[in-house]
Amino acid sequence: MSKMGTNMNVAVMTFRLYAPWVHSLKEKRMIVKSLVSRMQNQFHISAAEIDEQDIHQVIVIGTAAVVPHSAMADHLMDELSAFVEANTDAEIVEETREIR
């Protein structure tokens, strides 16, 4: 079996958002579903709500994408950050980035 190129990175991001106007889990789910769907369609990434599912005003979304090199990972994460900022009224309270 021949060894193919193994240069592969995974860009992992977590967004913690605060949405003070959300007053029900149903309302929160609609916001999360919309944002996650748009992120997946725009960037072809994996994305999901990963924490704080029972707290109305806190949204935690995790994303992951396989990329060929770290420069592309950095670029993708910059674009994701700008996308989230532009596509929700929620405040980004925390953003973590990791390249694995």
CATH number at residue 91: 3.30.70.1120
* % of the chain residues with pLDDT over 70: 94
Position 56 in a domain: yes
Overall number of domains in the chain: 1
Position 18 in a domain: no
Position 7 in a domain: no
* % of the chain residues with pLDDT over 90: 90
**Cα(30)–Cα(26) distance, integer angstroms:** 6
Position 1 in a domain: no
Position 59 in a domain: yes
Q: What residues does 47 pair with on adjacent strands?
A: 63
Q: How many CB atoms lie within 10 A of CB 94?
A: 10
pLDDT tens sequence across 37-76: 999 999 999 999 999 999 999 999 999 999 999 999 999 9
Q: Give Cα 40 to chain centroid, integer Å.
A: 9
Is this structure's pTM higher than 0.85? yes
> Could you tell me the residue range of the domain that residue 52 belongs to?
24-99
